[in-house]
A and B are shown apart, each in its own frame.
Chain A
Amino acid sequence: MTIALEIKDLHVEISDKEILKGVSLNIEHGEMAAIMGPNGAGKSTLASVLAGKEGYTITSGSIKYLGKNLLDMPIDERAAAGVFLAFQYPVEIPGVATSAFVRTALNAQRRHRGESELDGIEFLKLAREKAKELEMSEDFFQREVNVGFSGGEKKRAEIFQMSMLSPTLAILDETDSGLDIDTLKIVAAGINNLRSDKLCGIVITHYQRLLEHLKPDTIHILADGKIVKTGDKSLAILLEEKGYQGIIEAA
């Protein structure tokens, strides 16, 4: 298999404070990678930098996705190129209906890729299908984006957006937090449905449970702005036993 995402010695600062201190990470086509690590380690920072959020200073290093320099691309172009971030804290947008938002996004991406836009009927058909897979009621199509959604509903809506947009690089930032056991299963199945030899996944989590469903190929421990250990799923089990401190010390 070939490398799809290549992060090389990435250093990132926020307001003069270095958060990522030389992250290197390669992900192959079809690979599902998990990133675990203590609170404040920089996991969400890495996810945001991948998606293109402003306000970070990249002091050195590079990110290449499918041969292109990701850091040079505007946020929306990254999305059109297949990057999707499921937010740790999904943002509320009052006054915008969920279905209108997702349709605008999907058609913008299609336009950017030179594909034809979906009309209202085609869109609704697709949306219904995906909502059903995720066992979501269609009521939420008309609801304002994330407004008044429960924590679990917000996370499920992120996965709904992901399956509508069918990305090739999916970054899931603590999508499992706040989900009850049944919902976690549904969401995991939703993610697994998208898996293909094209999809690269980065799953950020604190818990073993989601990983049991997703069976990641690799697990990386990010601590204090660096990947300190990489392994397979046995690393997650070791982690449950020893905690981060034990692993970081051993590393």
Chain B
Amino acid sequence: MTNSSNIKNRYYQSYNDNQSLLPGLELSWIKRLRDDAITQFNQDGFPDKNVEEWNVHPCKGLSDTFYDPCQENNYEIDVKSIEKKDSNCLIRVIFLNGKVINIEHDTLPAGIKVNTLSFYLKNNPEFLKGKIKSANEYSEVRLSNIIDSRPQSIVALNTAFHEDGAIIHIDKNIEVPGFIELLHLGECEENTMKHIRSVIFLDKASKCEVLENIKQHKNNNVVFTSNVTDVHVSEGASLSFVRFIEGNSKNLHINNVHVQLDKDSKFISTSLINSKGQARAETRVNLLGENSSSKINILMMGTNNSLQESLTKVKHSTKNTKSDQIIRIILDENSRGSFQGKIRVDVGADGTLANMSGKSLLLSDNARVNSKPELEILADDVRCSHGVTVGSLNAEQLFYLRSRGIPENEARKLLINSFGNVIINNISTNLAKRAKNLMLEDSNKND
């Protein structure tokens, strides 16, 4: 038996041995969801380089180490020691090691429901039905019509092992004043794995801003975390979603967001990825309703030996939908970055408008980037554009700034920031300041 299939078996074993730790198993539909997922994982294993979504950096470090998904953590944290909630933040959900430890909020207007997954499983499981999708629903449908579940192995593992999550439900016509923050803190035992499963559901004509804020773990243990979020934006509703992912050099984080967009709805997302370890963010958007639109902005920053990856799949399923993607990658030292972006326009999805622009800035000779834009266009009346460029800091610009008296370091910083500004300056109102401060904190930390 090879090492990797040996490890695969240990996950299967662990699932069977630790059922008492996994919430909701007494419900038959949850049990089926989890059972199917572990079966799928057991079949597919971790994706290797033969899976196109993973062929740049095939799951480095995952297939040869067993990360215990059911390890109890004895770390505690004093909620009072956590920095205070931002003034524009209406509700903050704090996670520690994969479990919600606190929810704080100002006076809540009616129509806004935010609680934990475990709360709903205990008190109102029916509410979750259909909102948490089974892993195989997210399988890739290849051009040959073959259904390929292998790229979604991590989602399957998450579906089997998730312990908690945040459930956000916004009623019809409600506009949430301020943003909702999901703050993820961690301090885990060596070689553990934590899965979080969240749901964001916006009912018709509602409006909401959500920040998923993933902090680096406090200690230096090797930890794998996976956050999967199922998003549904109903007719005429609009969701602004910001993901901020940092990590220390021992953190491996994989983040999956699956978005379903109904008629006239909007999804505007910004991902800021700045891990010193490994981080992978996947964004899959399905434009299911006419006149729906999606904006995906991604800024990845790498230093040292870090690896940042981003995968987007935008599927235009019906007529007159629109998507935009702006990706910026800044890599220094020995860091690695990769971006895979696919735009798929289904048969009959005429009137599709789709743009993708990817630019990478390499600050060191040893940094490496890999960009792979892909178009699959099966409709006729479609306007698509995509462009990717890779460059280093512009010497003329650097000279111009320095000739005005700006020291080299500061001039470089100014140019690097200006490269990322197109992403930072496009964040929705309530979240803009918070996101900028997070970026600032982070860049100061790196100095």
Contacts and interface: CB of A to CB of B under 8 A. Distances in A.
Interface residues of A, number: 31
Contacts of B29: none
Given A54-B395, A91-B396, A104-B410, A96 B418 contact: yes
Most buried by A among B396, B404, B417: B404
Contacts, number: 76
B406 interface: yes
A167 to B, nearest CB: 9
Query: Interface residues of B: mostly helix, strand, loop or mixed?
Result: helix
Interface string B399-435: 1111111111011001101110110000000000000
Interface string B237-257: 000000000000000000000
Nearest to A96: B418
A112 B404 CA distance: 12
B397 interface: yes
A169 B106 CA distance: 59
Interface string A36-57: 0000000000000001111100
A178 interface: no
B406 A87 contact: no
Contacts of A80: 405
A194 B399 CA distance: 24
Contacts of A95: 417-419, 421-422
A105 interface: yes
B327 to A, nearest CB: 16
Contact of A85 (B397, B403, B422): B403
A106 B418 CA distance: 19
Given A94-B418, A95-B422, A105 B399 contact: no
B53 to A, nearest CB: 31
A177 B438 CA distance: 45
Contacts of A92: 397
Contacts of B402: 52, 74-76, 79
Contact of A108 (B400, B410, B419, B421): B410
A165 B405 contact: yes
Contacts of B422: 95
B405 A105 contact: yes
A27 B404 CA distance: 22
A87 B399 CA distance: 11
Interface of A: 51-55, 74-76, 78-80, 84-85, 87, 90-96, 101-102, 104-106, 108-109, 112, 161, 165
